[in-house]
Amino acid sequence: FGTDSRSKRYALQGSRWKVKALTYRIAKYPKRLNKGDVDKEIAKAFSVWSEYTDLTFTPKRTNPVHIEIRFEENEHGDGDPFDGPGGTLAHAYFPVYGGDAHFDDAEYWTIGSTRGTNLFQVAAHEFGHSLGLSHSDVRSALMAPFYRGYDPHFRLDSDDVQGIQALYGRKTSSGATTPTKTTPRTSVNTVNNELCKDAKIDAIFSSADGMTYAFKGDMYYRLTENAVAEGYPKRISEGWPGLPGNIDAAFTYKNGKTYFFQGSKYWRYNGRQVDGDYPKPISEGFTGIPDNIDAALVWGGNGKIYFYKGTRFWRFDPLKRPPVKSTYPKPISNWEGVPNNIDGALQYTNGYTYFFKDNKYYRFNDRTFSVDAADPPFPRPTAHWWFGC
Amino acid sequence: YPKRLNKGDVDKEIAKAFQYGIYLSQFGYLPASARNPSNGGLLQEETWTKAIQDFQGFAGINVTGELDEETMELMSLPRCGVKDKVG
């Protein structure tokens, strides 16, 4: 959710359905509308969201269903009473709270009329909440909170499409598709370098001055927007005097210092200069973190340091005592779509988090907390997308 | 009632304060902790002003921090009951 008042956009509540085939049931109908008409309008309201994603919505007559729909008045059992005509028209619960949608039956619900309150438009909005969208500050978006009257030419705004696709990905079956905002890293020139033969890396990190480096063996590569910079690879010992090869992991923390890990030891650098008496034992500087880690990164979601090893990960907070809570380690599977035994991890300048394993990489969406749904899908070949091969 | 104001005007202002205070609280602009215990439960002015500013910013209208006509008009629109500011 952008905090810059100049950039308006959708907001994700933070939860979503893990399945795409959803069911619903109209448990209580409005008093003044024909049931068949209501069934059609509700189905149409759901189809607004399935048009741009692989979500499907199937009505059922009996429970259990994912989304229950009810038309109620005043207090109706959820502690969030309706208020008679006008004011609040409806509300819905985010997926983590059940996804149900309630409509105020004191409203004069209508279908295809300028009178009363249009059922289809309000229902489509509420189902956006049922799917995990919060309110948007884009005035023209369906997910804007205000009802501004019947629109006979209603269409989803691009902001709504971006929001729902951020949660559930683009539609993969035939139908409307919307290109994603993210520009893929494409190679312009074919480059022959060692990484083209074997794109598996030891570590990858961004330096304090915004450069991105990949480490492999005794060598390091500076990466440009879409390839390896000219003049690389170079020896790690030349770039960071005192640092050995075969680094396990590296990251630059918000203090501007870069930390390198190998075996049971770690080094701290200020730019290209070692910053004190290093190496030191990991057990001393990073209590609670094991030796021989696979990867590490400072995650943009919360600014904490994450270490990955095998099938597990640890969260390290330098400001807390102890810096690693007793609830760690946790399974890497918590990071939906990220594999075990990764080689490298990187919080990149575009705001996405990337994980590297063997010759492939995964782009992680910090908002949906899962590997991004994209075309082509992840994992993608690192050599082509990162190293310009 | 205050000595120097018309009772009808006072009624309206008090009702407005309750109405819009409830609105801002209901849709997430006034947190539960907004009350200032040292004032016996009254809102701090800057909290109130910020809540209005946040609403105005979200709604895309002039951010004045005041309950002006444009703001009150927007608050009177029928809307969804879900909070605008979700933690």
Q: Which residue of A has its CA nearest to B55?
A: A137
Q: Do B77 and A146 touch (CB under 8 A)?
A: yes
Its ipTM equals 0.83
- At residue A6, does pLDDT exceed 60? no
CA distance A139 to chain B (A): 7
Q: Which residue of A has its CA nearest to B62?
A: A5
CA distance A92 to chain B (A): 7
Residues of chain B contacting A139 with CB distance shorter than 8 Å = 60
Per-10-residue mean pLDDT, chain B, length 87? 92 83 90 52 76 90 89 93 83
Nearest to A135 among B57, B63, B84 (CB): B84
Which one from A41, A68, A107, A126 is the annotated catalytic residue?
A: A126
Please say if A126 is a catalytic residue.
yes
Q: Do A90 and B58 touch (CB under 8 A)?
A: no
Q: Do B80 and A87 touch (CB under 8 A)?
A: no
Complete DSSP assignment for A207-253: -TTS-EEEEETTEEEEE-SSSBPTT--EEHHHHSTT--SS--EEEE-
A103 in Cβ contact with A122 (< 8 Å):
yes
**Predicted local distance difference test score (pLDDT) of residue A8:** 59
Distance CA A79, CA B29 (A): 19
Distance CA A231, CA A222 (A): 9
Please list the residues that pair with A261 across neighbouring strands: A249, A266
Tokens of B33: 């902790």
Nearest Cα residue to B34 out of B48, B55, B17: B48
Residues of chain B contacting A86 with CB distance shorter than 8 Å = 78
pLDDT in tens, A309-365: 999 999 999 888 899 999 999 999 999 999 999 999 998 877 789 999 999 999 998
Nearest to A90 among B60, B74, B81 (CB): B81
Q: Do B78 and A146 touch (CB under 8 A)?
A: yes
Residues of chain A contacting B58 with CB distance shorter than 8 Å = 135, 137
pLDDT in tens, A349-388: 777 899 999 999 999 988 788 898 887 889 999 998 899 8
- At residue A183, does pLDDT exceed 80? no
Q: Does B84 touch chain A (CB under 8 A)?
A: yes
**Phi (first) and psi of residue B17, to 5 degrees:** -60, -45
Q: What percentage of residues in chain A have a pLDDT greater than 90?
A: 67
Q: Which residue of A has its CA nearest to B26?
A: A80
A130 in Cβ contact with A96 (< 8 Å):
no
